Amino acid sequence: MKLNVSNTPALMVSHSLHILDINEPALVLISQTYKDVINKSVENFFTCPQKISLKQLNAYVNQTILLEVDNKPFTALILPQQESTFSIILIDQQPQDKTPAEHKNQVIGRWMYNTIDRTFQLSKTCAALLALEQKTAISLDYIIENLAKSDTGQVVNAFKEAGINKQPFSLEVHTKHSLDVAPLQLICHGLQDESAPTLLKGIIKRNIYTQKLDCKLDEQHERRGRALEGGQIGTWSIIHYKNEMSVRWDSQTCKLLHLPATNNHGSICTWINHIHPQDAPSVKAAIEHAFIQNKDFEREYRCILQDGSCIYIYAKGVLSNDSRTNTSFLDGVIIDHTPIYEARMRLEESNLLLEAKVKSRTAELDQAVKHAEMASQSKSEFLSMMSHELRTPMNAIIGALDLLTDQDNSFEEQELLDTAAIAANNLVSILNDILDINKIEAGKLELDCFDFDVSKMLNNIIVIFGPIAEQKGVKLKVLESDNLPAELNGDENRIRQVMFNLVSNAIKFSGNDSSNMGLVSIALSCEKVNALVSKLIFVIKDDGIGIDKETLKKLFTPFTQADKSTTRQFGGTGLGLAICGRLIELMGGEIVVNSEVNIGSEFTVSIPIWNFKPRELQTLYSCITLFSNINDTPEIENLKNKLSFYCNEIIVIPINSLTSYDTSSENLNILIATSMADIHELDSCSFTPHDVLLLYKRDLFEQLTERFKKTFKLNLDTLTFFTLQKYCLQLKERSKLEFEPLQEDDFAINLDLTTEPNNDSPYQLPLLVVEDNEFNQKLMVKQLSRLGYNCELASDGLQGLKMWQNNDYALILTDCHMPGMDGFELTRQIRKFEEKSAEIPIIAVTGAAMKGDQEYCLSVGMSDFISKPVTLAKFKNTLEKWYGN
Amino acid sequence: MEINTLDSLKTLNEDVMLELLGDDRDEINSFRQQFLVQAKNSLQKIAGYYRQNQIKAIKDEAHYLKTSAKAIGAERCAYYLQQLEDTTQTHATENIRKQQCRAYIESLSNEIKSVFHACNNK
């Protein structure tokens, strides 16, 4: 077969892709001679973006592929021939500036049009693009039938003209297919070749990217439409141009506002007209504000529908500008918020109801709190009253017992009096506990802090509990750390109260088993927390009955004891530990309890302390000699550490060396007896008993007392800094006194009874006692007389005031609560009369014991305060303080 | 009988201390000095109790000082203290009892002065 396609470059290739024939234009194109190319591989002269293969040729039969010659792209039409050969016609040269991407996005079909019989030959792609099945001899009319009506005119005219002038043209056409939105480009290249003047050639191409994009856009548009419709969201757009605002809105907005679909645009006033008259001005102002300030728009407002009903709208718009046209756009959405608004309204209603309920409940609670406070107040007042009412008779009882004790009583009588006095004091103590817990729970307890000697406080506890423990067969042991401060700032009374309670409990619950003697240890130490704060720690440990876990949990709850049997066996109100717990809490400290049933309990209390004075050296002796057969035991080491504060040197030597010792006032000799063997050794030694200090173990006390009656003795187990210092000072003082000469006049006496007994008293001016209770009057007169004071009586404040105006008194003792004029009013009146003259001391003597009462007394002008029961010692201390001052 | 008893007693019987402590002069003097200090205080207390009519307190104080007086050999002193102690417990009227107490206290005062001189002359 001979290829003869006139001026169009063409070639014929075998199935092995060898060139079988080639025409002249093709040889010119590749710049080769016929013999040079025949039977040569087509790849030697033509390149393809995809490798040329038989498979590819078969795949592109009747279609075009891209071939390059000297880097020039050509569209090549593949036509099948006989015996698996192919004709390749290089139809036209592709524009060089087209990028592969553009090719990629283009689908091109070829056509040839016979202007005589007005029929088309279509390539397969071309037929596909026009949605036709037929490819050959297709009439122009048939083609036109398949195009959109709007395009038919221009296509008919174009081919008519081209049939005459054979000139190229280009049109945009649409097929009838409903999905075929993107236009096709119909291009006529002119004549096929000069030799065939009736054949026009051309292409139809479609940019599939644009089509895809259009499809996507349509899809998105549809989706958006569905979403907006589903969400009942309408869209609108306000265009602002040259101070004019026009609005367009979509069909969904029309639906929302119940408007006809055609009513979808208008001026801003048309838009505003749909808005509730009350909201319209503010919405308009907000839109204008958005344009002026170039800000977005957001508003909630009501719209009036045609039927007169009202819906709630949420509108939001975003502002944009087109600087080219000097136009601004506010594009936004409106959402029907009516259901949300209604829900919100219902919620607000519910909230209002709830608030009303809460208010009502709060009022009820307030009422309940007021009732509770009133009840608490009544309880406090009752306790305060009870305190006063009980203390007044208790005052009489304790005072009377005090006086009776001073009389000449038989042993049995004295025993009964002591019992009654102990019982009365215990009763006052219980009363104090009840008042304390009441004060703590009412938050009225205040700490009264001052500097105090903690070792002295510990010694007071030992003095009180020593005999009690002794009687019960419980051994007391005290351990003070060396770093214990000399003085610390705190509420001594409250700290003592805590320690008192814990030690009392420890003794109470120890040594109850006859086989077990019982041991209670009290350890006192100081621990530094940081540069400013330290902790006072005291640990009270016993080997008593212990506490079970359940009881431990409620140990600090008022009126709680281990169980009822505990109360029956050991007594107590169950208030002690509750008070301790609260007091420690109030002091910012903590209490930790470790206990095991039948093993014992350990209470560790730590209280923060800020201001304290460290113990300083107070050299009383140049040397202290310890005569001891034991050395290096913790007890002796502890003793040496304590003694080192009072001397320069400490020597320890055995007791048998006591035959020679230094008796000078610069030396202190301390004998330590820890066993009977030590006592026997002491018996054989010669020493002056009054210038030594004897330290002993508790079980040797009786033996030593019989032998060394005049010797200062201290229990080694309960030794404190305070006692040690006190005895060292006394021994030092005694050694000095021994050398003080006595005079004969020292033994002269004055027994003169011819004058009034009270004239012996140094207290010449009488006291004025203002007291309404007759018994208390008598008691106070007796007590004051016993102390050497004269006194005169007034039964109430009014009488007291008159007597003070008419007589001269050294001081006034007054009850606070009396009928008529009470003690407070009496004080106010006296202070008023005194004006600038010297104030007479006025001392309140009252059954009230609250701290506030004392402060109140002082606030009205009283000088001091004594709480009942008033013992002789209390009277003595207070009167000595104020008498003559 | 009372006078006879009193006559047989010494203001300061030195043998008593010698028997108790042996021939340690310093120690004996020390004890005597301590007694005088104690006697001075006790005597003033007894006088005070007398003025305040605190009979039981007189008895206790007298009893306390009596033990010390006996220990250093102040026999006459111990005698007056014993008498004073006994008088506080008699069933006599209060007036008589007070008069007796007064007499014994005065005697005691004088006797302690004598002990003071006796001690200083030794």
Q: What is the DSSP string of A589-625?
A: -EEEEEEETTTEEEEEEEEEE--EE-------EEEEE
Q: Please name the residue of chain A whose CA is at the shortest distance from the CA of residue B22.
A: A686
Q: What is the pLDDT of residue A181?
A: 63
Distance, in Å, from the CA atom of A815 to the CA atom of A809, rounded to the nearest integer, reads: 17
Contact status, residue A94 vs residue A75, Cβ threshold 8 Å:
yes
Q: What is the DSSP string of A837-853?
A: SPPPPEEEEES---HHH
Residues 6+ apart with CB under 8 A from A687: A658, A661, A669, A671
Handedness of CA A739, A745, A746, A747 (dihedral sign): positive
CATH number of A446-613: 3.30.565.10
Comparing A174-188, A339-353, A483-497, A850-864, the range with the smallest average pLDDT is A174-188
Task: Give the long-range contacts of residues A308-314, CB within 8 A, separation 24 or more.
Answer: A310/A276, A311/A256, A311/A336, A311/A338, A312/A336, A312/A337, A312/A338, A312/A340, A312/A341, A313/A256, A313/A337, A314/A340
What is the nearest CA distance from A727 to chain B, expressed in angstroms? 18
Measured between CB atoms, which of B39, B51, B59 is closest to A757?
B51
* Terminal CA-CA length for chain A: 154
Q: Please name the residue of chain B whose CA is at the shortest distance from the CA of residue A741.
A: B33
Residue A438 three-state SS: helix
Residue A627, by phi and psi: left (phi above 0), alpha (psi -120 to 50) or beta?
Answer: beta
Predicted confidence (pLDDT) at residue A385 exceeds the cutoff of 80: no
- Pair type for strands A169-173 and A265-267: unpaired
Q: Is B24 on the interface with A (CB under 8 A)?
A: yes
**Torsion angles phi and psi, residue A563, rounded to 5:** -160, 180
- Pair type for strands A86-93 and A72-80: antiparallel
The residue among A737, A722, A717, A619 whose CA lies nearest residue A668 is: A619
Q: What is the pLDDT of residue A298?
A: 92
Distance, in Å, from the CA atom of A696 to the CA atom of A692, rounded to the nearest integer, reads: 13
Q: How big is chain A, counted in residues? A: 885
The CATH topology of domain A109-230 is Beta-Lactamase (3.30.450)
Predicted confidence (pLDDT) at residue A839 exceeds the cutoff of 90: no
pLDDT 10s digits, A678-693: 888 877 776 666 678 8
Q: How big is chain B, counted in residues? A: 122
Distance, in Å, from the CA atom of A845 to the CA atom of A853, rounded to the nearest integer, reads: 11
Q: Is B112 on the interface with A (CB under 8 A)?
A: yes
B102 vs A contacts (CB less than 8 Å): 751, 753
A737 vs B contacts (CB less than 8 Å): 37
Q: What is the pLDDT of residue A3?
A: 43
pLDDT 10s digits, A767-777: 999 988 777 78
Q: What is the pLDDT of residue A566?
A: 56
Chain A interface, best mutation among B24, B51, B77, by max A CB count within 10 A? B51
Q: What is the DSSP string of A7-26?
A: TS-EEEE-TT-BEEEE-HHH
Which range of A30-44, A85-99, A192-206 scores highest in mean pLDDT? It is: A30-44
Measured between CB atoms, which of A408, A738, A744 is closest to B33?
A738
Relative orientation angle of helices B25-51 and B94-121, to the nearest 10 degrees: 160
Chain B 67-106, residues with CB within 8 Å of chain A CB atoms: 88, 98, 102, 105-106
pLDDT 10s digits, A77-119: 888 877 778 888 887 665 444 445 455 667 888 899 988 888 9
Q: What is the pLDDT of residue A332?
A: 92
Q: What is the pLDDT of residue A343?
A: 92
Q: How many CB pairs under 8 A join A and B?
A: 62
pLDDT 10s digits, A500-510: 889 998 998 88
Contact B59 A753 (CB under 8 A): no
Residues in chain A whose beta carbon is closer than 8 A to a beta carbon of chain B?
406-409, 686, 688, 690, 710, 737-738, 740, 742, 744, 746-751, 753, 757, 760, 786, 788
**How far from the centroid of its chain's Cα atoms is residue A375's Cα?**
34
The residue among A604, A603, A602, A608 whose CA lies nearest residue A589 is: A608
Place of tokens 């039977």: A39
H/E element holding A541? Answer: strand A534-542
Q: Tell me the CATH architecture of domain A757-882.
A: 3-Layer(aba) Sandwich (3.40)
pLDDT 10s digits, A714-743: 899 999 999 999 888 888 877 665 555 677
Q: Can you list the domains of chain B with their CATH numbers? A: 10-121 (1.20.120)
> ipTM of the assembly?
0.80
Residues 6+ apart with CB under 8 A from A686: A658, A659, B24
Q: What is the pLDDT of residue B122?
A: 64
Q: Is B41 on the interface with A (CB under 8 A)?
A: no
Place of tokens 């087509």: A42
Contact B109 A407 (CB under 8 A): no
Residue B47 vs residues A262, A755, A763, B64: alpha-carbon distances, Å:
132, 15, 18, 15
The CATH topology of domain A1-98 is Beta-Lactamase (3.30.450)
Handedness of CA B84, B85, B89, B90 (dihedral sign): negative
- Pair type for strands A10-13 and A19-22: antiparallel
Q: Is B19 on the interface with A (CB under 8 A)?
A: no
Neighbouring CB atoms inside 10 A of A498's CB total: 27
Measured between CB atoms, which of A688, A744, A746 is closest to B27?
A688
Q: If you count DSSP H runs as helices and E runs as strands, how many of each does chain B have, helices first?
A: 6, 0
Distance, in Å, from the CA atom of A725 to the CA atom of A345, rounded to the nearest integer, reads: 83
Mean pLDDT, range A541-559, rounded to an integer = 82
Distance, in Å, from the CA atom of A642 to the CA atom of A629, rounded to the nearest integer, reads: 19
Contact A753 B51 (CB under 8 A): yes
Averaged pLDDT of chain A = 83
Pair of tokens at residue A879: 């009167």
Confidence of residue A672 (pLDDT cuts 50, 70, 90): very high
Mean pLDDT, range A128-145, rounded to an integer = 86
B55 vs A contacts (CB less than 8 Å): 408
Residues 6+ apart with CB under 8 A from B64: B42
Q: What is the DSSP string of A170-198?
A: EEEE-BS-TT--SPEEEEEEEEEETTEEE
Residues 6+ apart with CB under 8 A from A760: A788, B51
Q: What is the pLDDT of residue A574?
A: 62
CATH number of A231-336: 3.30.450.20
Contact B30 A737 (CB under 8 A): no
Q: What is the pLDDT of residue A686?
A: 64
Contact B54 A406 (CB under 8 A): yes
H/E element holding A332? Answer: strand A327-336
Model-level pTM?
Answer: 0.44
Which stretches does DSSP call E strand in chain B?
none
One digit per residue, the tens of pLDDT, for chain B of length 122 reads 455 578 889 999 988 888 877 777 877 887 888 888 889 888 988 998 888 888 888 998 898 889 889 888 999 999 999 999 999 888 778 888 888 899 999 999 999 999 999 988 76
Neighbouring CB atoms inside 10 A of A810's CB total: 20
Distance, in Å, from the CA atom of A469 to the CA atom of A597, rounded to the nearest integer, reads: 21
Pair of tokens at residue A107: 């689908």
Chain B interface, best mutation among A661, A751, A760, by max B CB count within 10 A? A751
Neighbouring CB atoms inside 10 A of A179's CB total: 9
What is the nearest CA distance from A510 to chain B, expressed in angstroms? 37
Predicted confidence (pLDDT) at residue A841 exceeds the cutoff of 80: yes
Distance, in Å, from the CA atom of A557 to the CA atom of A574, rounded to the nearest integer, reads: 8
Measured between CB atoms, which of B24, B39, B88 is closest to A747?
B39
What is the nearest CA distance from A663 to chain B, expressed in angstroms? 11
Contact B105 A749 (CB under 8 A): yes
Contact A690 B54 (CB under 8 A): no
Contact B51 A407 (CB under 8 A): no
- Pair type for strands A647-653 and A297-304: unpaired
Q: What is the pLDDT of residue B3?
A: 53
Predicted confidence (pLDDT) at residue A430 exceeds the cutoff of 70: yes
Q: Please name the residue of chain A whose CA is at the shortest distance from the CA of residue B53.
A: A757
- A235, amino acid identity: T
Handedness of CA A488, A492, A494, A497 (dihedral sign): positive
H/E element holding B98? Answer: helix B94-121
Mean pLDDT, range A784-813, rounded to an integer = 87
Comparing A421-425, A512-516, A783-787, A808-812, the range with the smallest average pLDDT is A512-516
Distance, in Å, from the CA atom of B111 to the CA atom of B98, rounded to the nearest integer, reads: 20
A403 vs B contacts (CB less than 8 Å): none
8-state DSSP, A94 = P
Pair of tokens at residue A688: 């002056």
Higher pLDDT, A124 or A106: A124
Q: Tell me the CATH architecture of domain A621-737.
A: 3-Layer(aba) Sandwich (3.40)
- A364, amino acid identity: E
Relative orientation angle of helices B55-72 and B25-51, to the nearest 10 degrees: 170
A406 vs B contacts (CB less than 8 Å): 54, 56-57
8-state DSSP, A51 = P
Q: What is the pLDDT of residue A755?
A: 43
The residue among A390, A403, A408, A391 whose CA lies nearest residue A781 is: A403
Confidence of residue A758 (pLDDT cuts 50, 70, 90): very low
Q: Please name the residue of chain B whose CA is at the shortest distance from the CA of residue A709.
A: B68
Mean pLDDT, range A795-806, rounded to an integer = 89
Contact B51 A760 (CB under 8 A): yes
Predicted confidence (pLDDT) at residue A2 exceeds the cutoff of 50: no
Q: Please name the residue of chain B whose CA is at the shortest distance from the CA of residue A744.
A: B113
Q: What is the pLDDT of residue B1?
A: 40
Neighbouring CB atoms inside 10 A of B88's CB total: 22
Contact A746 B59 (CB under 8 A): no
Chain A interface, best mutation among B21, B37, B55, B108, by max A CB count within 10 A? B37
Mean pLDDT, range A71-76, rounded to an integer = 80
Q: How many C-alpha atoms does A86 have within 13 Å on its Cβ side?
A: 26
Comparing A151-160, A255-264, A367-376, A438-447, the range with the smallest average pLDDT is A438-447
Contact B34 A690 (CB under 8 A): yes
Q: What is the pLDDT of residue A576?
A: 78
Predicted confidence (pLDDT) at residue A759 exceeds the cutoff of 80: no
Confidence of residue A446 (pLDDT cuts 50, 70, 90): confident
Residues 6+ apart with CB under 8 A from A308: none
What is the nearest CA distance from B102 to chain A, expressed in angstroms? 7
What is the nearest CA distance from A655 to chain B, expressed in angstroms? 20
- B113, amino acid identity: K
Burial of A695 (0-12, 13-18, 19+ CB in 10 A): buried
Q: Is B54 on the interface with A (CB under 8 A)?
A: yes
Predicted confidence (pLDDT) at residue A785 exceeds the cutoff of 60: yes
Q: What is the pLDDT of residue A704?
A: 82
Predicted confidence (pLDDT) at residue A18 exceeds the cutoff of 80: yes
Contact B24 A757 (CB under 8 A): no
Mean pLDDT, range A130-140, rounded to an integer = 85
- A572, amino acid identity: G
Measured between CB atoms, which of B47, B55, B88 is closest to A750?
B47
